[in-house]
């Protein structure tokens, strides 16, 4: 049985875990709002107050963080600049309600899942959007049920993108110009649905399984290497932390052992190092 250390709790739904260079950890509370930083000493700092719907966070090469939500923004020292608004998407921007998880590639381009809704509020034909210039976004592929986790392979060739509703992980060829969908990996045999992801130095994917109570390690081909039970019904995302990136942080929507803790930030050791995470340069 894998043991988890509790780093923080009391949130509605913790998302976007992102390690910084100083031993800190950024994360968001999706429903109750706010982007926070957990300091090495265990204190929690407010970084962006009240911001709701931030499903993804990544570091920027020039400092600060990029956050998703109603738009994609760069936040530096408490000041925000919009990198991509809903109306900036090339083609049809109508129906875009906001952006969920996001990540960068080795070129510094940002990839974000665009949430689209129809007139009744139902999700419809969501897509993965690439931001390669400020205020310019282009769709890489569509037909997504619910866009979620974003991660890249250690060699920078592939981008992985979770579709929570359809229980698939898309594999995008970043060497193509423009990047294009290469194939889909089905994870329907696993408990729950794929949410936030990270890759390790061996090229394997670590996937939080929403409503599945587990985190799974998958090969690049989608074969299940192992599953780790989490003390939460709905783990939402993962990231590697520590000087050697050998600890895995799991963020959740709940805690099954102590329900009063609500959404938590948990940490464990998994015996493999995480891959370095690219930074945005837009």
The answer to whether residue 280 is domain-embedded is: no
The answer to whether residue 276 is domain-embedded is: no
The answer to whether residue 81 is domain-embedded is: yes
* Domain containing residue 68: CATH number: 2.120.10.30
The count of domains in the chain is: 1
The answer to whether residue 282 is domain-embedded is: no
Gap between the Cα atoms of 155 and 135, Å rounded? 28
- pLDDT confidence of residue 92: 63
The answer to whether residue 219 is domain-embedded is: yes
- pLDDT confidence of residue 91: 61
Nearest partner of 146 among 172, 175, 125, judged by Cα: 125
- pLDDT confidence of residue 2: 85
- pLDDT confidence of residue 255: 98
Bridge partners (DSSP) of residue 89 are 137
Q: What is the pLDDT along the chain (282 residues), one digit of tens a residue?
A: 689 999 999 999 999 999 999 999 999 999 999 999 999 999 999 999 999 999 999 999 999 999 999 999 999 999 999 999 998 886 665 678 999 999 999 999 999 999 998 888 888 889 999 999 999 999 999 999 999 999 999 999 999 999 999 999 999 999 999 999 999 999 999 999 999 999 999 999 999 999 999 999 999 999 999 999 999 999 999 999 998 999 999 999 999 999 999 999 999 999 999 999 999 999
Gap between the Cα atoms of 264 and 57, Å rounded? 17
The answer to whether residue 169 is domain-embedded is: yes
Token pair recorded at residue 248: 């895995």
The answer to whether residue 274 is domain-embedded is: no
Domain boundaries, position 38 = 5-269
The answer to whether residue 278 is domain-embedded is: no
């Amino acid at each position: 049985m894998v043991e988890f250390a509790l780093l923080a709790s009391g949130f509605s739904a913790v998302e976007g875990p992102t390690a910084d260079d100083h031993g800190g950890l950024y994360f968001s509370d999706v429903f109750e709002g706010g982007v926070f930083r957990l300091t090495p000493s265990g204190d929690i700092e407010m970084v962006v107050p009240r911001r709701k719907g931030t499903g993804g966070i990544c570091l920027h090469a020039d400092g600060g963080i990029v956050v998703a939500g109603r738009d994609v923004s760069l936040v530096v020292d408490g000041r925000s600049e919009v990198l991509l608004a809903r109306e900036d998407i090339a083609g049809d921007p109508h129906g875009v309600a906001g952006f969920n998880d996001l990540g960068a590639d080795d070129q510094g381009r940002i990839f974000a899942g665009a949430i689209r809704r129809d007139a009744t509020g139902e999700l419809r034909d969501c897509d993965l959007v690439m931001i390669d210039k400020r205020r310019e976004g282009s769709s890489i592929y569509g037909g997504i049920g619910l866009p979620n986790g974003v991660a890249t392979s250690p060699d920078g060739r592939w981008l992985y993108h979770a579709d929570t509703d359809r229980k698939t992980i898309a594999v995008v060829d970043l060497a193509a110009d423009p990047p294009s969908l290469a194939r889909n990996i089905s994870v329907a045999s696993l408990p729950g649905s794929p949410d936030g992801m990270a890759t390790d130095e061996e090229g394997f994917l670590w996937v939080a399984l929403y409503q599945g109570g587990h985190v799974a390690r998958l090969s690049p081909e989608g074969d299940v290497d192992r599953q780790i039970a989490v003390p939460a019904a709905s783990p939402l995302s993962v990231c590697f932390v520590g000087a050697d990136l050998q600890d895995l942080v799991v963020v959740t929507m709940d805690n099954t052992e102590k329900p009063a803790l609500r959404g938590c930030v948990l940490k464990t050791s998994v015996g493999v190092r995480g891959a370095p995470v690219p930074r945005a340069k837009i």
